[in-house]
Amino acid sequence: MERIVKDQVQSELDKYANQDLYIHLETTNGAYATHNSESKMNVGAYIRNGKIRYERGVITGNGPHRVGLKMENGWVYAEGLTDWELDSEGRLLLAGHDELGRLAVALEVSPQPFRM
């Protein structure tokens, strides 16, 4: 992955508009958050291989970045994105890593289902 270049990601988001896609969206602060610091709580959520179709996708912010995908009946949103990759299978991978390189948020779209 490389640091996000906003224009490049925007042009990939544009290419994926108005087509059926599979999405992977997650956020986490790790299963040990409370264990390592009692003042924290474990939070996390993910959806993998949800089917979506968006009419407008926008990346914004000065880094870390935000992405919003506007669908016919709703929105998908992710915040804290720092790195991106268009992988060999044509999937757009966006991720937010903290200062220790740990993944804190991921937003990925693919024309094919993600591997389970």
**In the complex, which residues of this chain contact another protein (CB under 8 A)?**
1, 24, 26, 28, 30-32, 35, 44, 46, 85, 87, 91, 93, 95, 97, 100-104, 106, 108, 114-116
SS3 content of the chain, % helix, strand, coil (to 5): 15, 50, 35
C-alpha distances (whole Å) from 56 to each of 25, 44, 66, 74, 100 are: 17, 26, 14, 11, 33
- Provide, rounded to whole angstroms, the least separation between the CB of residue 38 and another protein: 8
Map tokens 């289902």 to a residue: 113
Distance CA 80, CA 59 (A): 11
User: Of 41 and 116, which has the nearer Cβ to another protein?
Assistant: 116
- Provide, rounded to whole angstroms, the least separation between the CB of residue 61 and another protein: 20
User: Of 15 and 35, which has the nearer Cβ to another protein?
Assistant: 35
User: Of 69 and 94, which has the nearer Cβ to another protein?
Assistant: 94
User: Of 12 and 85, which has the nearer Cβ to another protein?
Assistant: 85
- Provide, rounded to whole angstroms, the least separation between the CB of residue 106 and another protein: 5
- Provide, rounded to whole angstroms, the least separation between the CB of residue 26 and another protein: 7
Q: Count CB neighbours of 69 within 10 A.
A: 24
Partners of 72 in the β-ladder: none
